[in-house]
Amino acid sequence: MANQWIAGVDLGGTTTKIAFITMDGDIIHKWEIPTDNSNEGQNITTNIAKAINEKMNELGESKDNLLGIGMGAPGPVDYETGIILNVVNLGWQDNYPLKESIEAAASLPAAVENDANCAALGEMWQGAGNGAKNLVCVTLGTGVGGGVIANGSIVQGKNGAAGEIGHITVIPDGGAPCNCGKTGCLETVASATGIVRLANEELLKGEAKGELAERLAANGKITSKDVFESAENGDALANKILKEVTFHLGFVLASIANTLNPDKIVLGGGVSKAGSILLDAVNENFAKFAFSAVRDSTKLALATLGNDAGVLGAAWLIKNKLNR
Ligand SMILES: [Zn+2]
């Protein structure tokens, strides 16, 4: 039988990741193209369709072997209609018909979902979820994204905006401004940006000493990686930041687990690369705030797919739709 592939697309503000994936979830070929958000984003889907066609030609594959396209996009998506409701950095007007647009450009069936939800589906299918049907995925990157899977399906909510874990308020009074317009969201303390902000506030308080202060002096800035590495080396200030960040994360995740009792809560995104120093401290707070039956059954784990989670989850969407 000829190869039967699906395409997974992870649309980002500056680059778009594309992969050809088998129905069993093996990535055959993956690459990236720049996202062209000029001209109100009118070139985005035609560029993706063109890139897919060119790659099939390059690989000597007939276009008939490609069955459909799954796509993750950075904003709330109405899954049934494939309309992306609002998105800040792609140039599109509100309520852009993304599914219709990519289907027309590529002449293939498509399925569209929010990118954090796609990452959650990817981890469920091929990653840390290990087939778990009840899964919460938290992406700790520049922002904080979330995806909730119950009984194998993404929880969409009324407006496609369910699972916005990053915008749960953790500092009710006097919190830092968030990109969403509120203040004190989890994203303002647990994203890479938030961690750096907290560290900078401490470092600027006066004569900070220790490894983190030295890294700041040497490089003119610090990253969240600096905070975790310095904490691991015993730096007091870095450990104070770690304690604050993981307190809020553990508290929020315990509250989510008390509501949903998922099999697993998976931590992904760049910040999760800190590994056990992050996971152990979050676990400690999680155990403190989770209801006992939840604490004993819901497990916290680090994501295993890295940047591939989005394209795999997107592919899973179209595979499921084609199988129906
Ligand atoms: Zn927010």
Separation of CA 188 and ligand 1 centre (Å): 7
Separation of CA 183 and ligand 1 centre (Å): 7
Compute the mean pLDDT over every residue in the chain, rounded to the nearest whole number. Answer: 94
Neighbouring residues of 158: CB distance < 8 A, sequence distance ≥ 6: none
Q: Tens digits of per-residue pLDDT, 118-158?
A: 999 999 999 999 889 999 999 999 889 999 999 999 999 98
Residue 321: pLDDT over 80: yes
Q: According to the model, what pLDDT value does residue 123 have?
A: 95
- Cβ pair 76, 159 in contact under 8 A: yes
For the segment 183-187, the average pLDDT, to the nearest whole number, is 97
Q: What proportion of the chain, given as a percentage, has pLDDT over 70? A: 99
Q: According to the model, what pLDDT value does residue 3 have?
A: 79
For the segment 250-263, the average pLDDT, to the nearest whole number, is 98
Structural domain boundaries in the chain = 5-122+315-323, 130-304
Separation of CA 180 and ligand 1 centre (Å): 4
Residue 207: pLDDT over 90: no
Residue type, 178: C
Separation of CA 308 and ligand 1 centre (Å): 25
Predicted model pTM: 0.89
In degrees, rounded to 5, the angle at the alpha carbon of residue 18 between the alpha carbons of residues 13 and 20 is 165
For the segment 200-204, the average pLDDT, to the nearest whole number, is 93
* Superfamily name and number for 130-304: ATPase, nucleotide binding domain (3.30.420.40)
Q: Tens digits of per-residue pLDDT, 268-283?
A: 999 999 999 999 999 9
The residue whose two tokens read 């990157």 is 141
Separation of CA 141 and ligand 1 centre (Å): 14
Comparing 5-122+315-323 with 130-304, is the CATH topology the same? Answer: yes
Q: Tens digits of per-residue pLDDT, 79-126?
A: 999 999 888 778 899 999 999 999 999 999 999 999 999 999 999 999
Q: According to the model, what pLDDT value does residue 89 have?
A: 76
CA distances from 71 to 10, 185, 298, 314 (A): 6, 27, 29, 5
For the segment 23-30, the average pLDDT, to the nearest whole number, is 96
Separation of CA 72 and ligand 1 centre (Å): 20
- Separation of alpha carbons 79 and 110, rounded Å: 11
Residue 1: pLDDT over 60: no
Separation of CA 184 and ligand 1 centre (Å): 7
Q: According to the model, what pLDDT value does residue 208 have?
A: 81
Q: pLDDT-based confidence at 37, cuts 50/70/90?
A: confident
Separation of CA 202 and ligand 1 centre (Å): 22
Q: According to the model, what pLDDT value does residue 130 have?
A: 85
Q: Which class in CATH covers the domain with range 5-122+315-323?
A: alpha beta
Separation of CA 255 and ligand 1 centre (Å): 18
Separation of CA 69 and ligand 1 centre (Å): 31
